[in-house]
Structure 1
Amino acid sequence: MKPTLQTHDEEAPTTPESWLAPRQGWMAGRDEDGRLLVDFPGNPGGPAAATLAMPMDTQAAKAAVARRQAVMLVFERADPRRPHVLSLVYTPSETPLLDSVLEATAAQPPEDVRVDGKPRALDVKGSETVSFSCGAARVSLQPQELLLACWDVRVKLTRQELLLQCGEASFLLQRNGRAVTRGVRIESHAEDTQRITGGVVEVN
């Protein structure tokens, strides 16, 4: 829901009887004592300090003044110098379905991060290294590197290569097309034909 202010091209009447009826105005600022000021069509004396029928914290009040929040006013003893804010004025959104989806999304904590089974909002920033651990499992983030480790099993990912390592065995894939397999003992089995082809084949 988005607040909108309805403007009037004609000045409202200023007879004593006219101040008995509610009328629409807007948040106009705050005075030296922090009270909210409102203005309205036909105002004979400029923005006036108003009382409110609803609670409003400092941050909400600043936002209302900044956007000239529309309000519904009544006047104590029909005196335009003594306005009272009955309510804020809203108009239906032009995109109610989108608004409802955005509000529902904003109200839910992200579920991709859980601590002891409970979803937690996570906002962590670091210029060099950010690490998370749980028991033997560890995640380490650097500007150009992601490392996953648990016991002696590691997965390292950078822009240039992917390394899978388990103890003495490892498999390295590089962006330039190089693939390296290392281990104490390497075995390769095929149920059918196994071929080794290459521009140059070296066996040492």
Structure 2
Amino acid sequence: ISLHAVLVNGFVCKDPKAVTAEDFFLAAKLDMPRDTKMSKVGSNVTLVNVMKIAGLNTLGISLARIDYAPLGENPPHTHPRATEILTVLEGTLYVGFVTSNPENKLFSKELRKGDVFVFPQGLIHFQFNPNPYKPAVAIAALSSQNPGAITIANAVFGSNPMISDDILAKAFQVEKKTVDWLQAQFWADNHN
């Protein structure tokens, strides 16, 4: 990065004279199924954001293809910088989000091919494929070039360094050995 480079949202703004069509293109092959077998949660999220298409810088949008194995899920997570709108392309998904304290109200719905659901910015949400035999596929559009993703289990039980088991045991009202077991799990990322 040049000392004179202009950064917007943490990303370099290219000199307009140097911009090419390649800055707005990605051969993502979003029509191709993604492998869900290597994921502990049975999903694979293929992101298309500013890290993959430089031309998205300052445009306030990104998207993702999400493949779900039978009984796979995109576990509870949040996007701190984006609202998400999800469209089911194949299969069935049970989806939902939880409002903030003190209500903590769950809004959920079973979606079929062609159905759309919105997850408001910053709220914990999830998607689950209830079909034990058929995969599901969805496309998510997000209102940020870099929406971020905080998967709740990974953040709480897989932080580095780890959150004290005393703190988590009290917060979740469980024994420390339960927290220790959860912290010992390998927390994998299903985002590519």
- Structure 2 length normalisation: TM-score? 0.19
Greater RCO (CA < 8 Å, at least 6 residues apart): 2
- Structure 1 length normalisation: TM-score? 0.18
- When Rg is computed on C-alpha atoms for both structures, the one with the higher figure is 1
